[in-house]
A and B are shown apart, each in its own frame.
Chain A
Amino acid sequence: MTDALIALVALPLTAALLALLLPRIATALVIFSGLAITASAIALLYGVNTAGALHYELGGWTAGLGIALRADGLSAILLLMIALVMFAASVYASAYFGKASERAQFWPLWLLLWTALNALLLSGDLFNLYVTLELLGLSAVALAALSGKHAAVQAALRYLLVGLLGSMLFLVGVALLYAGYATLDLATLTQVVKPGPIAWSALTLMTLGLLLKTALFPLHFWLPPAHGSAPAPVSAVLSALVVKAAFYLVLRLWLDVFADIVTPTAANLLGVLGAGAVLWGSWQALRAERLKLLAAYSTVAQLGYLFLFFPLLLALPPGPARDVATGGLVMLALTHGFAKAGLFLAIGIVQQRSGHDNIQELGGMVQRLPLTTFAIALAGVALIGLPPSGTFLGKWQLISAAIATGQWLWVAVTAIGSLLAAAYIFRILGHAFGNQPYPHQAVAVAREEWPALLLTLTATLVLGLAGAHVWTLLENGS
């Protein structure tokens, strides 16, 4: 079972190297390794489900001296999501990048990003987390700048600076913790960390760095341009996975490692920022005039929901109630991952076929690109939080927990945010349904349409209907 832990890092990294060395067969290689990685993720999930949390000591050195890879229910689920989204986006990208030279540059970076994501989710070591964060950041920036357009490069540069600032603060936190507790192993740290200036400062600094990376309002400024100007498969992965990786770390730190340190007030602060993100992000998405910007702002908003969970989880006593709410959080994160990736992929199709992604000029799209429009609609369903998407279940738990703990503000925020989401999604669909003649020759490629469709279907149907398994997995894998 623990082989899967190694495979999840080694496979994409090896594939990246091979793709670098053998650009001609890179596409086939990516698809093949993508399948293998997905299989590993499934194996890992299976293992976690049957045997509980797994860990693997690299090099045979005990954790502390060496580095341990760890996987529990949460990380295993997210890893599978990463695998599926990346795989779908890979299939899409194989058609999206028309020129062989483009693909040759793209695939190695793409696989490195995949490596980084997997490594980050599996890492059980503070400093190793820093390295994976940097690997993730650099590969994401490199991919975001891939188009070479001025706006893209500019956005990527800002993305890079922001990412570096974030990592730096994270690293300071790591240093502080090492100074205080002489360990880098998360599991060890969890046991020894005590409230006090070191823990407070370290948590503050690490959180601060991660908040910047996960683009929590009001630190989201870098995200829309970066996600909005990257190539479509990259935008998909940036929005769906990369920001979520940073969020995952925040979650880990706050709920596991520093569980004894965090206070309700601090969690409320995150909640307030989350609320700001929901409202502001949704509002900006509503005002966006380009599809990609809309999707990017929607990401800002959707991340906000995740942060709304912090005050709720802290207010709930540890036990079943909190576990159920945590499941809701995971469900939201999962659904958003699939839906947003699918949305960006679909937007990419629109952009390629019509040469633009101006929302005002989408008239007739539903006739010419029915499957693409359908994918956008499905993604919209998930983003709004309508059933049967997983978001619906997630928001249910969000509202439920808020009511149970008497935190009505978050209920209102969720409601308004959802309605704003509906407004921006149906703004697209309204234009798409227009009966104006669609001026562009639009023949969609199945390799592009189907990944988008399947991802959004996963978000809306699979997660919604098979959602109970998420809770079971989290419970079994803890």
Chain B
Amino acid sequence: MNSATSLPLLVILSSLLPGLVIFFLPEGSHRLRTTLNLAGAFVKIFLVGVLIWGVFHGQSYETRWALAPGLDLVLHADKLSLLFVSLSSVLWLVTTIYAIGYLETSPHRSRFFGFFSLCVSATVGLALAGNLFTFVIFYELLTLATYPLVAHRGTPEAIRGARIYLTYTLSGGMLLLIGTVWLYAIVGQTSFVEGGVLSGLSSEYHTQLILIFALLIAGLGVKAALVPLHGWLPEAMVAPAPVSALLHAVAVVKAGAFGIVRVVYDVYGVTFASELGVLMALGIAAGITIVYGSVKALFQDSLKKRLAYSTVSQVSYIALGTAILGPIGTIGGIVHLVHQGIMKITLFFAAGNYAETLGIHKVSEMNGVGRRMPGTTLAFSIAALGMIGIPPVAGFISKWYLGLGAVEAGMAGWVLPVLILSSLLNAGYFLPILYRAWFRTPAAVWPDEHIPAARFETHGALLWPPIITAVLALAAGLFAAAPYSPLEWASLIAQREYGL
């Protein structure tokens, strides 16, 4: 095997192998585990870097492995997959550092980090999937790898949450599987091809294709938390903070959204999907989700639940972008894949810091927390503003392209109001938090202060990840037009999809 055929596999193995080894490490071998984790993360980033360099220089990377006649496991590095891969590898590194700090003293760390690595491996595999078949495989693997993470604490609530998570995701996976097989039965293959593979089919198949689209989107929509398939997301909030970060920003939710992008662009082809009329349906579903999630978030006092509903809302921006015909909307959707990830992970890191440092779980307990934990709160603020879409944080760029794309596609009539309403609602649930954190006087005692303020407001391993990701979120917006920025990347992808 040369590098062209092995590199995508190696990218997966770089987290898979350390994960497998970690399973067997005794609980006490903290240093070895940390070394393995970080080594894996850095190796992955290095390999992804090589991939990116190669792909931008016209090199083609593909690992192909036949699983059954006509069914190949294909790992293929194209620009879209690399975008997601780089997002997850970078965020994985950050999250790993964070998780090491977060779980410093808690039990079963080997198990945790083992599944953690599996989870990322599945995500990377999903990102690199070269056909829908491979995608489905990693999609299900992701479900499996996250279950133990959600259930990690072992409390009845955790297990209940995990069960609900599983009920939703496995049902979704089944729908996705049926849709995929159906598609396979019609087309005989499920490869991701820029511009789609279905437009050549005669019109007698169109009804079937619409049904298949519904199945696929319903299946992906569970992970992407499209209303009404979102019910698992708030329940899965029982998981430890790094897991929530992973679920919401890097892996699970993103996988669903990424899948929607793949299906629309590389299976159906956005033009063909638009002709079928399914894009509009997708867009409306996304719009409803965006508003619904925001409204629900308004009424949550639990910080993590508020963030969870925020995710419900935000991830559908991606679907919305996908539903907008035209390169600009596409850019908006794809770039939000990255932007939402870094912003949301910041928020979850910060929420985790509040919980871990001061025992704060509720918004109503956050009075004056900005003074006690300025770094964390600053990071939180930047991310929250980004979520609202305030420039120059990354979220604005996404919103901008979505809006512009909608205008271009003649959908401004309802997309813009949705965006506006959602931003208003986002402001409605984020800004009060910021107000409390920065302007209210703190309570005399924090709910449960574990970590006293010393040199930093909390452990370094907890403090730096949100700051790094907040800086990333800011940078992604500020330098959006710079080369190699997510936006540039998304533009390249969109150009390819539209054959520009």
Contact = CB atoms under 8 A, between A and B. Distances in A.
Interface string A169-182: 00000000000000
B148 interface: yes
B182 interface: yes
B181 A467 contact: no
A419 B71 contact: no
A404 interface: yes
Contacts, number: 104
Interface stretch (B163-171, B249-257, B374-382, B391-399): B163-171
A399 interface: yes
Contacts of A250: none
A465 B71 contact: no
A146 B137 CA distance: 42
B152 to A, nearest CB: 8
Contacts of B108: 367
B71 A396 contact: yes
Contact of A435 (B153, B181, B184): B153
B144 A381 contact: yes
A402 to B, nearest CB: 9
B445 interface: no
Interface string A411-435: 1000100110011001001110111
Nearest to A370: B111
A248 interface: no
B136 A434 contact: no
B137 A387 contact: yes
Interface in A323-372: 324, 327-328, 331, 364, 366-367, 370
Contact of B65 (A397, A411, A418, A465): A465
Interface stretch (B154-162, B278-286, B436-444): B154-162
A400 B184 contact: yes
B154 A433 contact: yes
A433 B148 contact: yes
A108 interface: no
B454 interface: no
Q: Which of A370, A386, A464 has the most CB of B within 10 A?
A: A386
B141 A468 contact: no
Interface string A366-403: 11001000000000010010111000110111011001
A56 interface: no
Interface string A17-56: 0000000000000000000000000000000000000000
A430 B151 contact: yes
B178 interface: yes
A436 B158 CA distance: 13
B67 A324 contact: no
A328 B147 CA distance: 28
B243 to A, nearest CB: 14
B177 A396 contact: yes
Nearest to B186: A403
B137 A388 contact: yes
B488 interface: no
A411 B212 CA distance: 14
A161 to B, nearest CB: 39
Contacts of B144: 381, 386
A471 interface: yes
A465 B67 contact: yes
Contacts of A471: 68-69
A419 B176 CA distance: 13
B174 A433 contact: no
A327 B167 CA distance: 30
B408 interface: no
A330 to B, nearest CB: 11
A392 B174 CA distance: 11
B162 A324 contact: no
Contacts of B500: none
A422 B170 contact: yes
B483 interface: no
B140 A433 contact: no
Contact of B156 (A381, A403, A434): A434
B413 interface: no
A367 B144 CA distance: 18
Contacts of A468: 66-69
B1 interface: no
Given A327-B69, A433-B148, A468-B69, A403 B181 contact: yes
Contacts of A465: 65, 67, 73
Contacts of B66: 468
Give the one of B66, B138, B162, B170 with max A CB within 10 A: B170
A392 B166 contact: no
Given A324-B69, A465-B67, A399 B163 contact: no
A419 B184 CA distance: 22
A415 B177 CA distance: 9
A427 to B, nearest CB: 8
A415 B180 CA distance: 13
B70 A324 contact: yes
Given A327-B69, A471-B68, A426 B177 contact: no
A430 B68 contact: no
A403 B70 CA distance: 16
Contact of A397 (B68, B143, B163, B170): B68
A384 B178 CA distance: 15
Contact of A430 (B162, B174, B181): B162
Interface string B430-452: 00000000000000000000000
Contacts of A431: 159
Given A367-B108, A381-B144, A435-B153, A403 B170 contact: no
A74 B354 CA distance: 60
Contacts of A384: 170
Given A433-B151, A433-B154, A435-B153, A426 B166 contact: yes
Given A384-B170, A411-B178, A419-B171, A426 B147 contact: yes
Contacts of B174: 415, 418-419
Given A387-B140, A388-B137, A471-B68, A419 B170 contact: yes
A32 B430 CA distance: 69
B400 to A, nearest CB: 38
B185 A400 contact: yes
Interface in B51-103: 65-71, 73
- Interface core residue of B69, B133, B163, B178 (most chain A CB under 10 Å): B69
A464 B185 contact: no
Nearest to B163: A430
A381 B108 CA distance: 22
B71 A393 contact: yes
A403 B166 CA distance: 26
Contacts of B181: 396, 399-400, 403
B155 A435 contact: yes
Interface of B: 65-71, 73, 107-108, 111, 133, 136-138, 140-141, 143-144, 147-148, 151-156, 158-159, 162-163, 166-167, 170-171, 173-175, 177-178, 181-182, 184-185
Q: Closest 3 CB pairs between A and B? A: A435-B154, A387-B137, A468-B66
Given A387-B141, A393-B68, A419-B174, 5 more contacts: A395-B177, A396-B181, A430-B151, A435-B153, A467-B67
16 contacts: A327-B68, A387-B140, A388-B137, A393-B67, A396-B68, A396-B71, A400-B181, A415-B178, A422-B167, A426-B147, A426-B163, A431-B159, A433-B151, A433-B154, A468-B67, A468-B68
